Amino acid sequence: MILLYILAVFTSVPVIIYAVWRKYYAKSYKTASPAIVYHSVDTESGLVPTQVPLTEFKKQIKWLSDNKFHTISPDDFLRQELEKQNNPGKYSRNLFIGFEDSYVSVAVHALPILKSAGFTSTLFVISDYIGRKNNWDVRITKDFHMTEDDIRSAIKDGFTIGSHTRTHRNLRSLNDIELRDELEGSRHALEDRFGVPVHALSYPFGRYDKRIQISAKDSGYKMAFTINRPGSQKEFDPYAIPVTGIYSIDKTHNFSSKLTRTGMYWMDIMRDKMFNRFACGTILVKSRKRKTTG
């Protein structure tokens, strides 16, 4: 009897997950081209889910190279998606790769590998945290963000920079003036400091709503990416472009199924949703701290 009960639980969980997936998230995968984001890449994986081990990162880039993927800039990705609206259903191997938060570990480990594979990517920079510790995050292990020199040398090597706001706050909690300061302030700071146009934004924690999308547009961005995939998106929205997060738990077989959308990739996507929920812990802790200190 107990065995039957356990069996029933084990079989019903994937069925429920699949049903939720089909109802809320499957649609957006039919239309979107592959776009992925990493957070950090380092020699040791540790306990941080967003930190991809270097050995695994190398395998993933080799897999992309072996399978004839090309990497494209945010501007080209946007152009491609707008053109694709007239030619839906065409799966593209033109891949967008982003790095949220732009940690030093990415400059040290990931960028040289991408460069030698002939790939490019976009670094989403938190403009007030250049060269600083990630004190905006509540996790115990602290990492440094790229320095100005790191970013300059990445730009020289052909990498693009985008904005990840000024201070990585939950944009939904901000009033209109604070919101505009985070978005427009960051774009101006990056453009003034590095002398390159900044067209792409990535929402911290993937969190956005209609008001934030309008503010992003008014702040001069041409597009905005989100890790918090909109499930009900019927057509391409330049201010809610879904990106797939790659995490420490992803091995080459998960990675490839996430990229090609084959096999049980929907299980991984639903798991990633859980990761994103954990990341929202930072939002809760920070907002509590603000309430008690302010």
* Total of residues contacting Zn ion (CB under 5 A): 2
* Least Å from the CB of residue 49 to Zn ion: 13
Q: Which is nearer to Zn ion, 186 or 257 (CB)?
A: 186
Phi, psi at residue 123, to the nearest 5°? Answer: -100, 115
Q: Which is nearer to Zn ion, 139 or 253 (CB)?
A: 139
Instruction: Give the interface segment with Zn ion, choosing from 97-105, 106-114, 211-219, 223-231 (CB under 5 A).
Output: 97-105
CB atoms within 10 A of CB 288: 10
Distance, CA of 237 to CA of 39 (rounded, Å)? 23
The mark string for 212-231 relative to Zn ion (x by CB under 5 A, - otherwise) is --------------------
| Three-state secondary structure of 36-56 | EEECEEECCCCCCCCEEEHHH
E strands, 126-212, are 160-163, 200-202
Q: At residue 117, what is the residue type?
A: A
Distance, CA of 278 to CA of 117 (rounded, Å)? 33
Per CB under 5 A, does 100 bind Zn ion?
yes
Q: Which is nearer to Zn ion, 100 or 150 (CB)?
A: 100
Distance, CA of 56 to CA of 140 (rounded, Å)? 24
Query: Which two three-digit tokens encode residue 90?
Result: 């065409």
Which residue's CB atom is positioned nearest to Zn ion? 100
Per CB under 5 A, does 137 bind Zn ion?
no
Instruction: Give the interface segment with Zn ion, choosing from 11-19, 92-100, 151-159, 174-182 (CB under 5 A).
Output: 92-100
Per CB under 5 A, does 184 bind Zn ion?
no
Distance, CA of 175 to CA of 156 (rounded, Å)? 37
Instruction: Give the interface segment with Zn ion, choosing from 8-16, 22-30, 40-48, 96-104 (CB under 5 A).
Output: 96-104
Nearest CA among 40, 174, 153 for reference residue 101: 40
Among left, alpha and beta (phi > 0; psi -120 to 50; other), residue 100 is: beta
Instruction: Give the interface segment with Zn ion, choosing from 65-73, 93-101, 227-235, 269-277 (CB under 5 A).
Output: 93-101
Query: Which two three-digit tokens encode residue 89?
Result: 């259903």
Q: Which is nearer to Zn ion, 100 or 250 (CB)?
A: 100
Q: Which is nearer to Zn ion, 99 or 266 (CB)?
A: 99
Q: Which is nearer to Zn ion, 50 or 219 (CB)?
A: 50
Instruction: Give the interface segment with Zn ion, choosing from 60-68, 75-83, 94-102, 233-241 (CB under 5 A).
Output: 94-102
* Least Å from the CB of residue 57 to Zn ion: 18
Q: Which is nearer to Zn ion, 73 or 163 (CB)?
A: 163
Q: Which residues contact 7 (CB under 8 A, 6 or more apart)?
A: none
Question: Among residues 42, 56, 101, 272, which is the contact residue for Zn ion, using CB under 5 A?
Answer: 101
Distance, CA of 240 to CA of 102 (rounded, Å)? 21
Q: Which residues bind Zn ion (CB under 5 A)?
A: 100-101
